[in-house]
Amino acid sequence: MIKIENLHKKFGKNVVLSGVDLSIDKGGIFAVLGPNGSGKTTLIKSILGMVLPNKGTITVMDKNIHNSWQYRQEIDYLPQIANFPGNLKVKELIKMIKDLRQKPSDEEKLIALFGLEPFLDKKLSNLSGGTKQKVNLVLTFMFDSPLIILDEPTTGLDPASLIHLKEWIGKEKEKGKTILITSHIMQFVEEISDEIVYLLEGKIYFKGSIKELMVKTNQTDFEHAIVAIATHTDHA
Amino acid sequence: MRLVKQLVLTYVLFFAVAIRANTITVCPTCPISSVQEGVKAAADFDTLRIKKGTYKEFNIVVDKPLVIIGENYPVIDGEDQGEIITIVSDNVTIDGLFIINVGTSYTADYAAIRVVKSQHFLIQNVVLEKLFFGIYLEKSKNGKVYHNKIIGDAVEEFNSGNGIQLWYCQNIEVTQNIVQHVRDGIYLEFSDNITIENNTSTNNVRYGLHFMFSNDDVYTNNVFENNGAGVAVMFSKKIKMHNNIFKKNWGTASFGLLLKEINDAEIFGNTFEENTIGINIEGSNRVEYKGNDFLNNGWAVKVRGACYTNVFKNNNFMYNSFDLSYNSKLNDNVFEYNYWSSYTGYDLDKNGIGDVPYRPVKLFSYIVNRTPETIVLLRSLFMDIIDFSEKVSPVFTPDNLMDVRPLMKKWND
Amino acid sequence: MLKILKYSFYDLMRSRWSYVYFIFYLILGFVLLFLNHDLSKAVITLMNIIIVLVPLIGTIFGVMYFYNSKEFTELLLAQPIKRSTIFLGQYFGVASSLTLSLVLGLGIPFVLYGLFMSDAIWDFSLLLITGAFLTFIFTGLAFNIALSNENKIKGFGYAVLLWLFMAVIYDGLFLLSLIVFEEYPLDSFSLAATMLNPIDLSRTLILLKLDISALLGYTGAVFKKFFGTNFGLIVSIIVLVVWTWIPIWRLSYKSKRKDF
C-alpha cells in the first residue's frame, strides 16, 4: 500500500527524518508512535505530499507521489488541528469538501452518529473544539477510500464519541482498508491497532505487533513497553 | 424744417451716386473676362460683379474706390506667382471671393489681399486657401475685416505667413473671422485702437494672436485653440482682453497667454483651459486679472519675475496641476477673493470666505522649476508631505504670497 | 481553481472585513460627493487616496487572510487538489472580493450622483481599473510575503514595510536622486524608476489623464513620446500586467516547493 525508501527531511538545520524505510501492506490498522518531535506528523505529511522530502521516494499504491496530486483521491486524511474557514456553516463545509473531491459520500450516518444535526446551520467559528473535531471526523470518514490517515483523532472527544469513533474505525478495517493513526492515548492505540511503527530520532526504531514489542522490552504492559523502548534507547 | 432739408439732400446725393455707379460683370466668357480688365474698365464707385469661375490672375491693383463682389465664390488662382490683390485706394469693398495659391517668397511678404495706406475699406466673406500672408493691412485706417475664412497649410515658422496682419494701422475692426494653420492667426505691430472680436484662431504654427508694440487695443470673445502658443502680448500698453477662450495650447514652451512687458492691461472673464501654462507673465505691471476661469492647466499662472502691483481677484482656479509658480522669493502682487479648487480650509463664520489663507505656490512647483524631470512625482504622497511642511513654514516660496480671502464657492457660480 | 476561488470568495464575502472595507468606500464616496457636489473634483481627491490606500488595504488584508486560513489551507492540501490551484484560488478569491468591495463601494455613490451623465466617467473608470490592478498586485505581494514567513508578526511587519517603502520612501529616494543628478539627462531614468514601483506606475496612469497639460511642458524627447502619445498609456498598462503577473508566478512557484 505504502512504500517508503530512505526518506530524509530536515527543516533548516533541524533533521527530522533521516533515512526512514517503511513498508505498509494493504489492510489493517497501523499506529505511528514516538515521543514529541520524533517526526510522526512529518512522516504522515510526507505521505500526503504536504512535506516535500529532501531525499528518498514514497510510493502509494504503486505510484511514486513525487509531483503528483491525483493519488490523494484515494486517501482520507484527518488533520491534527481542526480549524476551518470560520464564516462557513458546517453544512456548507461538508458540501464544499464533497464538491472538491467529487466522490460518492455518506455523511448522513456520521452526522447522526456524532449527533451533529443541531450544529449543521451554525458557523464553524461558533463551534467548540470537540464539535469541530467531530466535524473533522465526518469530513474524513464520509468518503470511501482505501487509505485512511488519522492524526490524533481522539483530541477533544467526549467518551461516547470516542466509542463511536472506535467502532467506526473497526468497521472500516473490516472493509479491508489500510488505516494509519498517530495518537498519544496509549489505551486507544492498544485497543485498535494491529501493528506499531515506533519512530525515534528520525528513524524507524521498531515495527511490529504490540506483542512483539512487549516481548522485546520484557514488559507486560503496553504503556510501560513504550516508555521502556524510549528509555532503552537513551542508554543505548 | 432743417431736418427735412437734410433728408432731401441725402436722397439727392444718394441717387446721384447710384445713377453714376455702374455695375460691370466679369465672367470667363464675358467681354470682360478678368478682374484686372474689370478694374481697368471701371470708373470710381462702380461695382464689379465676378461670376462663378476660375480666374488665373495675380497682381490685381485696385487703385480706385470699387465694390468687388463675387457671386457663388469665384476662384482667383494666383498660381503661386506673387501677391493677388493690392488695394491702394480708399473706399474699396471686397466681398465673396475665393482666393488661392498666393506666391511664397523669402524676400517679399506676398498677401492674398493687401491694403496699403487706405481708409474705409471692407473685406468680408472672403475665403483664402494655400496662402502665404492672408490679409495684410499696411498703414491703413478705419476699415473692417469681417467674416473671412483663412485656411493655410503652414508647418514651419520660417516659410509661412500670418493670417491677418496689421502694420501701423489704426481704428480697424477684425470680427468673426476664422483663421487656421498659418503662422500667427492675427498679428498686430504698431497698431493702435484695434478691435478684435468673435474670431476663431486655431491650429496655428506660432500664435493665435500676436501683439507687438501696439496700444489701446481690445480683443473680446475670441477662441484660441491648439496653437503653437495661444496669444502673445508683448511690449504693449492698455490692452483689454475680455471673455476670450484659450484652450489646449500644449507643448514645451506653450501657453494660453503670454504677457511680456505689458502695463495697465485688463484681463477679465477669460477662460484658460487645458494649457501647459495658462498665463505666462514677464515684466508686466498694473495688470488686473478678474473673473477668469483657469481649468485643468499644467500651470494656471507662471510668474517669471519683475511683475509688480498686479491684482488677481475673483478668479476660479480649478484642477490645475499647479495653480501658481513663482521664480523669486519676493511678491508684490495681490491675490484675493479667488476660488481655489485645492483649498482645504473651512469657513466657520459662514461668510463665504475661507478662514485660513490659501497658499497657491507649492514647494513642488519650485522643485519642478529646478529639476523638470521631477514632474513624474506629481500627486505622490511624498510630495504631498513636503508640500504640507512647506505650507506650515515657508522656506522656498514667498511667505507673503497668499490669498488671505479665498472664496469657498466658485465665483459666479 | 475556480472552486477554491469560489469558496474563498464566498468566505470573504461573508466576513466582517469585506463589509468594513465596502462600507468604508461607500462612506468615503458619499462624503466626498457631499462635500464637493462635483464629480470631477471628487474623482481627483479619490485618486490621491486610492493609490495610497488600496495598496495598504491589499497588503494587510492579503497577509491577514493568508495567516488566518492556514488550517483551511492545510485541509485543502490533503485533498486531491494541485498546490498552485489552492494558493492561486485563494489569492484570486481575496483579490477579487477586495476589488468588488472597491468597485461597489465607490461605484454606488458615484452612480447615484449621476456618474453616467457626466464627463467624469472615463476618469472614474480609470480610477477603478487602477484600483483593481493595485489590489491584485499588492494582495499578490502580501501572499508572497506571508508564504515566505511562518512568523505572523514578521510577515505583518514586512508587509507594512513594503507598503511604506512603495508609497512614500521610494518616491523620496527617487526625488533625491533626481535632484542630485540634475545635470544629467534624466528622463529615461525617471520613467524607468516610475515603472519599477506599481504605485508610481498607477499614479502615472492618472497623471496621463489629469495632468497631461503639465507633463507636456517638459522638453525631454523621451518624455514627449511617452506622455504625448498613447505610447505611455500602453506601456504603463503592459508593465502593470507584468507587475500583476510576477507575484502570481512567484506564488505558484514557491507554493510548489514549500512544506506545510
CA-based nearest distance C54→chain A, Å: 24
Contact B299/C182, CB-based, under 8 Å? no
Cell digits of residue C179? 535632484
C126 touches chain B (CB under 8 A): no
A167-176 pLDDT per residue, tens: 989 988 898 8
pLDDT for A234: 46
Q: Which of A58, A49, A56 is nearest to A24 (CA)?
A: A58
Paired sense of beta strands B133-138 and B164-167, if any = parallel
**HSE value, Cβ hemisphere, 13 Å, CA-based, for B378:** 28
Grid coordinates belonging to B33: 473676362
Put simply, the chain C residues between 86 and 145 with a CB less than 8 A from any chain A CB are none
* Cβ-Cβ contacts under 8 Å, B370 against chain C: 179, 182
What is the distance between the terminal CA atoms of chain C, rounded to a whole angstrom?
Answer: 19
CA angle (B73, B51, B138) in 5-degree steps: 60
pLDDT given for residue B2 in this prediction: 66
C75, C159 contact by CB (below 8 A): no
Give yes or no for a contact between A51 and A196, defined as CB atoms under 8 angstroms apart: no
Is C58 exposed, middle or buried (CB count within 10 Å of its CB: 0-12, 13-18, 19+)? buried
pLDDT, mean of residues C223-231: 79
Cβ(B315)–Cβ(B338) under 8 Å?
yes
Q: Which residues, including other chains, have CB under 8 Å from residue B173's CB and lie 6 or more apart?
A: B143, B144, B145, B146, B194, B195, B197
The pLDDT score that the predictor gives to residue A208 is 87
Lookup: cell for B257 = 497667454
Residue B104's contacts (CB-CB under 8 Å, 6 or more residues apart) are: B80, B110, B132, B159, B161
Comparing CB atoms, the residue among A75, A84, A86 nearest residue C75 is A84
The answer to whether the beta carbons of residues B322 and B298 sit under 8 Å apart is yes
Q: Model confidence at B17, in pLDDT bands (50, 70, 90)?
A: low
How many C-beta atoms surround the C-beta of residue A134 within 10 A? 27
For residues B233 and C258, which has the higher predicted lDDT (pLDDT)? B233
Residue A142: list chain C partners with CB under 8 A: none
Phi-psi region of C20 (alpha: psi -120 to 50; beta: other; left: phi over 0): alpha
**Chain C window 8-47: which residues touch A at a Cβ cutoff of 8 Å?**
10-12, 14-15
- Across the interface, which of C4, C7, C71 has its CB nearest the CB of A83? C71
| pLDDT grade for A235, boundaries at 50, 70 and 90 | very low
**Pairwise CB contact (< 8 Å): C167 & B296:** no
Nearest Cβ partner for A85 among C11, C79, C258: C11
pLDDT at C208 over 90: no
Give the pLDDT band of residue A232 (cuts 50, 70, 90).
low
Percent of chain B, pLDDT > 70? 95
* pLDDT tens profile C113-162: 877 777 778 888 888 999 999 999 999 999 999 999 989 999 999 999 99
Q: How many angstroms separate the Cα of C52 from the Cα of each of B308, C130, C168?
A: 41, 12, 9
Query: CA of C66: which chain A residue's CA is closest?
Result: A85
Distance linking the first and last C-alpha atoms of chain B: 55
CATH number of the domain at B66-392, please? 2.160.20.10
Phi-psi region for residue B142, left (φ > 0), alpha (ψ -120 to 50) or beta?
left
Return the residue matching grid coordinates 504490540.
A210
ipTM exceeding cut-off 0.85 for this assembly: no
Per-residue confidence at B204, pLDDT binned at 50, 70, 90? very high
Average pLDDT over residues B200-210: 94
Q: What is the DSSP letter of B141?
A: B
The SS3 assignment for B87 reads strand
Q: Which residues neighbour A190 within 8 Å (Cβ) at sequence distance 6 or greater? A: A210, A222, A223
Joined together, the cell numbers standing for residue A200 give 525515534
Percentage of residues in chain C with pLDDT exceeding 90? 34
Predicted local confidence at residue B12, as pLDDT: 59
Mean pLDDT of chain B: 90
**B252 at C interface, C-beta within 8 A:** yes
SS3 C230: coil
Count other C-beta atoms under 10 Å from residue A136's C-beta. Answer: 24
Is the pTM higher than 0.90? no
CB of B373 within 8 Å of any CB in chain C? yes
Contacts of C219 in chain B (CB under 8 A): 252, 372
Whether chain B has a CB inside 8 Å of the CB on C202: the answer is no
Contact assignment for B379 to C207 by CB distance below 8 Å: yes
Is the per-residue pLDDT at B257 higher than 90?
Answer: yes
Q: Are C163 and C142 in contact (CB under 8 A)?
A: no
Contact across the interface for B321 and C211, Cβ inside 8 Å? yes
Question: Phi and psi of B295, rounded to 5°?
Answer: -120, 130
pLDDT reported for residue B94 = 95
Distances (CA, A) of B209 to B175, B183, B258: 13, 10, 10
Q: Mutation test of the interface with chain C: which of A96, A132, A137, A142, choosing the one with the most C Cβ atoms within 10 A?
A: A96
User: CA-nearest residue of chain B to C193?
Assistant: B376
| Touching partners of C (3+ C-beta pairs < 8 Å) | A, B
Cβ–Cβ under 8 Å, residues A57 and A9: no
Residue of C nearest to A96 (CA): C7
How large is the average pLDDT for residues A125-135?
88
Q: Touching check for C35 and chain B: CB below 8 Å? A: no
Distance from CA of C14 to the nearest CA of A (A): 6
| Whether C98 contacts chain B with CB within 8 A | no
CB interface of C with A, residues 59-88, below 8 Å: 69-72, 74-83
Say what the pLDDT of residue C43 is: 81
> Would strands A14-24 and A147-151 be described as parallel, antiparallel, or unpaired?
unpaired
Q: Distance between CA atoms of A122 and A126, rounded to whole angstroms? A: 7
pLDDT in tens, B341-384: 888 888 898 899 999 999 888 888 888 888 888 888 888 888 88
Determine which helix (DSSP H) or strand (DSSP E) holds B394, and give its type and residue range: none
Q: Answer whether B touches C (≥3 Cβ pairs < 8 Å).
A: yes
How big is the A-C interface in CB pairs under 8 Å? Answer: 68
- The more confident residue out of B48 and C187 is B48
pLDDT of residue B11: 64
Report the percentage of chain A scoring pLDDT > 70: 97
Top pLDDT among C186 and C156 is at C156
Q: What is the pLDDT of residue C113?
A: 83
Stronger pLDDT, B158 or B100, i.e. the higher one: B100
Interchain proximity C74–A88, CB inside 8 Å: no
Residue spans of the domains in chain A: they are 2-235
Which has the minimum average pLDDT: A126-130, B146-150, B173-177, C118-122?
C118-122
C72 has pLDDT over 80: no
Residues of A in contact with C78 (CB under 8 A): 48, 50, 72, 75, 77, 79
Residues C240 and C202 sit within 8 Å (Cβ to Cβ): yes
B126, three cell numbers:
472672403
Q: What are phi and psi of C151, to 5 degrees?
A: -75, 120
User: pLDDT per residue over A51-91, tens digit each?
Assistant: 888 888 888 888 888 888 888 888 888 887 666 777 778 88
Contacts of C186 in chain B (CB under 8 A): 371, 373
Residue B13 pLDDT class (50, 70, 90 cuts): low
With bands split at pLDDT 50, 70 and 90, how would you rate the model's confidence at B108? confident
Domain locations in chain B as residue ranges:
66-392
Whether residue A88 and residue C11 make contact (CB cut-off 8 A), yes or no, is: yes
C-alpha B113, offset from chain centre? 20
Contacts of C178 in chain B (CB under 8 A): 371, 373-374, 377
Say which of A45, A72, A139 has its CB closest to residue C80: A72
The residue count for chain B: 413
What kind of fold does domain A2-235 have according to CATH? Rossmann fold (3.40.50)
